[in-house]
Structures are given as structure tokens and as C-alpha cells.
Amino acid sequence: MSEARNILEVEGLCVSYGKVEALHSAGIKVGQGQIVTVIGPNGAGKTTMLSSIMGVLPHTRGVIRFQGLEVGDAEVEQRVALGINLVPESRALFGEMSVEDNLLLGAFMRHRLGHRDHEQTMDEVFQIFPRLKERRAQHAGTLSGGERQMLAVARALMAKPALLMLDEPSLGLAPLIVREIFRVISDLKRTGVSILLVEQNARAALQVADYGYVLETGEIALEGASDQLIDDPKVVESYLGLGGRR
């Protein structure tokens, strides 16, 4: 019954940039309603993995199953329609549009599929991010770094995703804001959405996650329940110890 409980199953995923293979047969699973994190150093292939699951990057081999359905050949838009959503590292906001319009477009696919409930969803999203409500008429490009990240997450939530993938949500943010972002991530779990979180900030990621994978040079080096990983000597040494950042 693993298919029923796992919302996402990735097996033997290989992705290449030209002749350089960035992911070698990587496999991960995300359980329904879980927060799963993939940690690892810069250049390990974390972003590549998320891009490939989203369909932005083609994979050369491997299987991507979402809710038991093979989606490896589907277009990005079809994956959005199925309920997969990615908040990319760049945030990819629409800078010259208001916060409200950014959020509205987050519900674009739902609108196309005939769900005209964006106003209600927006109210729910504003409850999670009250600061965005204050800034609703402001252009996204004028927001602070933390607010932009919150808008990026909020915009993804407008699609009511079943699987939310976050790429380095804490990147470049002040410690206080990082804490708030992670508080929101652990709160989101209560709404039932499954989350795949990619982070360099390993300690914070493992604290909110249920399960973790360590990705090194394109391969899964280690995996386990996050409370075990957080005590694992190898993880402590490489990612959490004094050598680790933050």
C-alpha cells in the first residue's frame, strides 16, 4: 500500500546538462501529509531534482510517480493541474504587478479548471501571511526579501497544491525572517499539504521535517527520519557541526 501513502515517488532519476550528469539515479519518497527535506551542499543537484519533478527540466532516465500516476512525460502545466507546485529559488515573482495580482495568478490553473474560489483562498492565504494583506496593492518588486519569499509561498498556496516543493526558502534572508518562514512551513503541514523542502540550512530543515535525505554530488548519500539524521555523526560533521553555516 506504499503507493496510497506516498504522494510522490521518485526512482532512479537521472538528469543531465549536456554531457554532465547532475543527478545519478536518485530516489526519494514523500509521504502523504509529510514534510520531507533534501539537504546537501551547493551543487549537489537539489535544485535539479526539484526542477525535474516539476517538469521544468527533462530527465534522461527514471520514474516520477505522483499519487500513483506516472507524470515523467507530462508538461509543467499538466503537473500544476494535478496539484504539484514549485516555489523556485529565484521566487520568480511578477515584479511589476501588485501582490494581489500575483496571488490571483497563483490560482490561474484552478481558474482554468473551473474552480472560481480564488477570493476565498486568498482570504485563507492572508490569514497565514497577514503582512501580505497590508501590502496587497503594492507592486511585488517593492517588497522586502522576506516579504517576497512569503509572497512566493503564498502564491503557490493559491493553487491549493497537494505537493508543495520549496527550493531554499531561507536563502538570503535575515535569521529572524528565516525563523518565521520555517514556522509557516510547519504550520502548513496542519493544512494537509505535503511538502518537499530543499535547504542548505540543514538544522532548520531537519527540525521541521519528518524525513530527510542527504544529497551529495548527485546521489542520495544518506536518508532517515529527521530526528535520527539530526544526531547522525556524519550529518553533524558535514552539515550541522561547527563547520556548518548558521
Interaction site with another protein (CB under 8 A): 54, 56, 73, 75-77, 80-81, 85-86, 88, 90-97, 101, 104-106, 108-109, 111-112, 155-156, 159
For the CB of residue 155, give the shortest distance to another protein in the complex, in Å. Answer: 7
Comparing CB distances to another protein, the nearer of 15 and 159 is 159
Comparing CB distances to another protein, the nearer of 159 and 206 is 159
For the CB of residue 241, give the shortest distance to another protein in the complex, in Å. Answer: 35
Strands 84-87 and 35-39: unpaired
Comparing CB distances to another protein, the nearer of 107 and 204 is 107
* Enclosing H/E stretch for 59: none
Comparing CB distances to another protein, the nearer of 109 and 196 is 109
Comparing CB distances to another protein, the nearer of 159 and 214 is 159
For the CB of residue 202, give the shortest distance to another protein in the complex, in Å. Answer: 25
For the CB of residue 139, give the shortest distance to another protein in the complex, in Å. Answer: 11
HSE-up of residue 155 (Cα within 13 Å, Cβ side): 27
Q: What are phi and psi of 8, to 5 degrees?
A: -130, 130
For the CB of residue 110, give the shortest distance to another protein in the complex, in Å. Answer: 8
Type of residue found at 226: S
36 has which bridge partners?
196, 211
Comparing CB distances to another protein, the nearer of 59 and 155 is 155
Three-class DSSP category at 135 = coil
For the CB of residue 236, give the shortest distance to another protein in the complex, in Å. Answer: 35
DSSP state of 33: T
Q: What are phi and psi of 54, to 5 degrees?
A: -75, -20
163 has which bridge partners?
84, 194
Q: For residues 211 and 230, what is the distance between their CA atoms, to the nearest angstrom? A: 10
- Rounded to 5 degrees, what angle do the CA atoms 107, 109, 110 make? 65
- Terminal CA-CA length for the chain: 39
